[in-house]
Amino acid sequence: MNNMEIPEAYAKAEQIAKEAGFKLMAFADAATIELRQEVRDMCAANTCGKYGSNWACPPGCGDLDECRAKVAPYKWGIIVQTTGQMEDSFDFETVAEIAQEHDENFLKILEPMREAFPGMLALGAGTCNICAKCSYPDKPCRFPDKRVSSVEAYGMVVNEFAVKNGLKYNYGPNTMTYTSCCLLG
């Protein structure tokens, strides 16, 4: 944490996350955030199928310099995780269940976090799915204040970010973990 004291407001963020169902969370020191071009290059490979089709994903969410400018004002936040045990590495049903639980819990924290921490920047574990069909690139985002880009869309290496802030990323064999964060102050 670079000798940074955890702000008293962190207790409020932690309470909101717990009430939403998160069991794994940690204080996020924004000084540990590194936005890397190689992560954005992986996005450009489009393995998820969202590159160039959503305001929350590259290039719609801005280039790396724009993302750096959005992250720069923050000193701290909260990281939340959902992890689960799979039967084996081909247990895609459980992977989908873990992802759904994480997404549902993350959606639950967004409004209370925005109320408690105006100006919050939320970075999720996947692309924004507020709209059934994104207006990108033909029309502006319908909900720019609610849009959530992923941690990776901003160029962050998720496992490094989690570990630097005291969380694991790998919880053992046949586990799947989803990680999101809210930058708050």
Question: Torsion angle of alpha carbons 162, 115, 65, 59, nearest 10°?
Answer: 90
pLDDT band at 1, cuts 50/70/90? Answer: very low
Tell me if 4 is assigned to some domain.
no
At how many degrees (to 10) do helices 10-19 and 92-116 cross?
140
CA atoms within 13 A on the CB side of 52: 6
In a domain, 5, yes or no: no
Q: Is residue 6 part of a domain?
A: no
Query: Residue 4: its pLDDT value, please?
Result: 58
Residue 166 has pLDDT above 60, yes or no: yes
Q: Which two tokens stand for residue 161?
A: 């970010």
In this prediction, residue 3 carries a pLDDT of 43
pLDDT digits (tens, 9 = 90+) for 106-144: 999 999 999 999 999 999 998 898 899 999 999 999 999
Residue 181 has pLDDT above 70, yes or no: yes
pLDDT tens digits for range 41-94:
999 999 888 999 999 999 999 999 999 999 999 999 999 999 999 999 899 999
Write down the mean pLDDT value for the chain. 94
Burial tier of 115 (Cβ tally within 10 Å: 0-12, 13-18, 19+): exposed
Please check whether residue 2 lies inside any domain of the structure. Answer: no
Q: What is the pLDDT of residues 22-31, one digit of tens each?
A: 999 999 999 9
Q: Please report whether residue 152 resides in a domain.
A: yes
Query: 45 lies in which domain range?
Result: 17-183
Residue range 95-101: average pLDDT? 95
The total number of structural domains that make up the chain: 1
Dihedral Cα 6, 12, 15, 21, nearest 10 deg = -90
- The per-residue pLDDT for 96 is 94
What does the pLDDT read at residue 48? 86
| In-domain check, residue 11 | no
Q: How far is CA 8 from the centre of its chain?
A: 22
183: pLDDT confidence band, cut at 50, 70 and 90? very high
Any domain includes 135: yes
One-letter amino acid of 28: A
Residue 98 lies in a domain: yes
